[in-house]
Structure 1
Amino acid sequence: MVTRSQKDIFKPKRQFNLSTTVTKSPLPRTPLIALRDPNWKMAMNDEFDALINNKTWELVPRPPNVNVIRSMWIFSHKEKSNGDFKRHKYRLVGDGKTQQVGIDCGETFSPVVKSAMIRTILSLSLSKHWPIHQLDFKNVGEYS
Structure 2
Amino acid sequence: MSLTDIARYRSADPRITIHSWLRGRDIVEFLGLWEALHNPDFKRIEFDTFKKDAGSNAFTFSIKKWNEELGAIGLITKSGRYGGGVYGYSDIALEFASWLSPEFKLYIIKDYKRLKADENSRLSLNWNLNREGAKLRDGKKQAKKLLKI
Give the structure-1-normalised TM-score.
0.25
Structure with the larger strand share: 1
Give the structure-2-normalised TM-score.
0.24
